[in-house]
C-alpha cells in the first residue's frame, strides 16, 4: 500500500509492507512502515540546503540535461556581493578565478595521498573520505566508527587510514582535538620521550590552569624546565588547516537582503526562480504531439521534471523568508545597534515560531548568507547559544566571549588569569559558566592559556 503525502513542500511515500511469518505452518503476511525517500524528495532537500552558488551550478546542470528548462543567471552573477562587504564584483570571471586559485586544504592533501605507493585500496578510500570531511582548521570531527560504517570497512582499516592522513603536510592535520594536533607535531619535532611531548600528553589542562608545581612534581622536573617546555608550544600550529583559509576571498550571493526602514525592516529573498523558466516551444510541442508518440512522452517527463524544480525553488524561497522574518524578529536589536546585542536563538525556537520541523530550518540555514545593515553574515551566525544569567535574560555566547576578552585585556600581565579565575570573575558578574566552557571560548578566539600569556609577558 502506497500513501503519497506532502509535508512542508516535500513529497515522500510511506510504504507499508513486510515479510511473511509462519504460524502453524501457514504463511501470514505482516505489515511494517518504512519511509521511502523518492528522487523528488532528495532533490527538494538538496535545493533547500544549497547556497545560491551551489544552486546555480545545479540548475545549469539540469538545464543542460533538460531541453524544457531554461536558466540565465548572468545578471545575478555580475551583481553579486562579497562576504563581509556589500561591494559588487562586475568583473567576476569564475573560470579565470578557479584557474588562478590557490589549492584548498583538500586538494593539497589529496595530491600527497595520491603520491603514496603501496596503499591498500580500502586504506586509500578511507583516507580520501577523511580528507573530504576535515573542517577548516584541518581537524577530523567525524567519529571513526561512522567512517567505518559509512564505507563498510573494519575499524582496523580506518585506523591505518587515519595514521596515513596524520602523516601528511601540514603537520597536525587529521587530528581530532587540540591535544592530538599538538602531539602529532611534537612527535615529528621533539620525539615521544621529550618533556614537552609528555607535558601535552598528560598535563595540558593543568598547564592551561598554570599549575606548574603539580606538573613539575608528576613529571619529575623543576618548574623552570616546565616553563621552558611550555614556551616551545608557541612554535606549534593549533589550527594547521587555517593557513589555507587566510586571505582567501569568499564570494557569495546573499540569499537574503535585510534593510532597515523607519517603521521596521524590509526583508527580501533573492529569487533564483526568476532566472529559471520553462521553454514555451517545447511545452507546446508536448501538448500538440499525438498520444502514444515517444517524443510526447519524453517531453512530458522533462516538463514534469522542470515544473517540480520550479516548485522546489518557490518552496525554498518561502521557507527562507519565514526563517529570515523569525531571525529579524529575534535579533532586531542587533540589526539596529550592532554586534553587542546579539540575542540567544536556537533552531528549535525558530522552528516553533514558523511551524516547521527543526531539520527543515537547519537545512534552510546551511550555507546561506544575509546582507544586513551591519554587513554580510552567514545566516547561522544569528543562532547564538545562550548562557544563563543570574539576573535578567540569558545572554549569548558572543557576549560572553567579549567579557572574557575584556577580562584578559585588563589582567595583570605578570599573573594572567587562569580559565578557572575567568569563570569565577564571570560568576561574580552574574554569568554562570564552567571553566571548560571558558577554555572553549578562549580557544575559539585564538587566545593562549594563562601559562603561555605569562611566558610572553
Strand partners, 369: 378
pLDDT tens-place string over residues 3-21: 333 444 443 333 333 444 4
Span 339-346, mean pLDDT?
73
Confidence band of 38 (pLDDT split at 50, 70, 90): low
The residues spanned by each domain of the chain are: 1-36, 104-249, 252-382, 386-456
Q: Is a pLDDT exceeding 60 seen at residue 367? A: yes
pLDDT tens-place string over residues 259-268: 988 888 999 9
Go through 39-50 and write b for each residue having 16 or more CB atoms within 10 A of its CB, e for each that does not.
ebbebbbebbbb
Considering the domain 386-456 in this protein, what is its CATH number?
1.10.10.60
Confidence band of 340 (pLDDT split at 50, 70, 90): low
Query: How is 436-456 classified by DSSP, letter by letter?
Result: HHHHHHHHHTTPPPHHHHHHH
SS3 217: helix
Span 420-445, mean pLDDT?
84
Say if residue 114 is exposed, middle or buried (CB neighbours under 10 Å; 0-12, 13-18, 19+): exposed
The answer to whether the predicted template modeling score (pTM) of the entire model surpasses 0.85 is no
Q: How far apart are CA 417 and CA 423, in angstroms?
A: 10
Using an 8 Å Cβ cutoff, are 216 and 199 in contact?
A: no
Among candidate residues 311, 310, 317, the one with its CA nearest the CA of residue 268: 317
Q: Is a pLDDT exceeding 60 seen at residue 187? A: yes
Least confident of 47-61, 133-147, 270-284, 389-403: 389-403
The three grid cell numbers given for residue 325, joined into one nine-digit string: 522574518
Q: How far apart are CA 44 and CA 64, in angstroms?
A: 19
Chain center to CA of 77: 24
Amino acid at each position: 500500500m502506497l500513501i503519497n503525502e506532502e509535508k512542508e513542500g516535500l513529497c515522500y511515500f510511506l510504504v507499508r509492507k513486510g515479510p511473511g511469518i509462519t504460524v502453524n505452518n501457514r504463511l501470514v503476511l505482516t505489515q511494517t512502515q518504512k519511509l521511502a525517500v523518492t528522487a523528488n524528495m532528495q532533490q527538494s532537500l538538496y535545493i533547500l540546503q544549497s547556497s545560491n552558488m551551489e544552486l546555480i551550478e545545479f540548475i545549469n546542470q539540469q538545464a543542460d540535461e533538460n531541453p524544457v528548462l531554461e536558466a540565465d543567471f548572468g545578471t545575478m552573477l555580475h551583481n553579486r556581493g562579497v562576504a563581509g562587504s556589500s561591494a559588487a564584483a562586475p568583473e567576476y570571471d569564475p573560470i579565470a578565478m578557479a584557474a588562478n586559485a590557490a589549492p584548498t586544504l583538500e586538494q593539497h592533501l589529496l595530491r600527497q595521498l595520491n603520491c603514496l605507493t603501496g596503499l591498500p585500496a580500502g586504506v586509500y578510500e578511507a583516507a580520501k573520505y577523511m580528507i573530504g570531511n576535515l573542517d577548516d582548521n584541518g581537524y577530523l570531527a567525524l567519529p571513526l566508527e561512522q567512517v567505518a560504517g559509512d564505507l563498510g570497512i573494519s575499524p582496523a582499516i580506518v585506523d591505518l587510514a587515519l595514521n596515513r592522513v596524520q602523516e601528511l603536510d601540514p603537520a597536525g592535520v587529521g587530528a581530532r582535538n587540540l591535544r592530538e594536533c599538538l602531539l602529532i607535531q611534537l612527535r615529528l619535532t621533539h620525539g615521544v620521550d621529550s618533556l614537552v611531548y609528555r607535558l601535552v600528553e598528560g598535563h595540558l589542562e593543568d598547564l592551561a590552569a598554570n599549575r606548574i608545581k603539580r606538573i613539575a612534581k608528576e613529571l619529575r622536573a623543576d618548574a623552570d624546565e616546565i616553563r621552558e617546555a611550555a614556551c616551545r608550544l608557541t612554535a606549534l600550529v593549533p589550527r594547521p588547516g587555517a593557513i589555507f583559509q587566510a586571505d582567501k576571498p569568499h564570494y557569495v550571493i546573499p540569499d537574503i537582503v535585510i534593510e532597515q526602514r523607519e517603521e521596521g525592516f524590509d526583508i527580501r529573498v533573492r529569487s533564483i526562480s526568476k532566472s529559471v523558466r520553462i521553454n514555451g516551444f517545447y511545452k507546446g510541442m508536448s501538448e500538440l504531439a499525438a498520444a502514444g508518440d515517444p517524443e510526447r512522452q519524453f517531453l512530458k517527463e522533462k516538463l514534469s521534471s522542470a515544473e517540480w524544480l520550479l516548485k522546489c525553488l518557490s518552496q525554498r524561497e518561502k521557507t527562507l523568508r519565514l526563517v529570515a522574518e523569525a531571525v529579524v524578529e529575534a535579533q532586531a536589536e542587533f540589526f539596529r545597534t550592532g554586534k553587542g546585542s546579539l540575542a540567544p536563538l536556537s533552531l528549535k525556537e525558530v522552528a516553533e515560531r514558523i511551524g516547521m520541523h527543526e531539520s527543515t530550518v537547519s537545512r534552510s540555514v546551511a550555507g546561506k548568507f544575509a546582507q544586513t545593515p551591519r554587513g554580510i553574515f552567514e545566516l547561522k551566525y544569528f543562532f547564538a547559544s545562550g548562557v544563563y544569567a543570574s539576573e535578567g535574560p540569558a545572554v549569548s555566547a558572543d557576549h560572553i566571549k567579549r567579557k572574557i576578552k575584556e577580562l584578559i585585556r585588563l589582567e595583570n600581565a605578570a599573573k594572567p588569569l587562569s580559565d578557572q579565575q575567568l569563570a569565577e570573575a564571570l560568576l561574580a558578574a552574574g554569568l554562570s559558566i564552567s571553566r571548560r566552557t571558558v577554555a572553549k571560548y578562549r580557544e575559539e578566539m585564538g587566545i593562549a592559556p594563562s601559562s603561555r600569556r605569562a611566558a610572553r609577558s
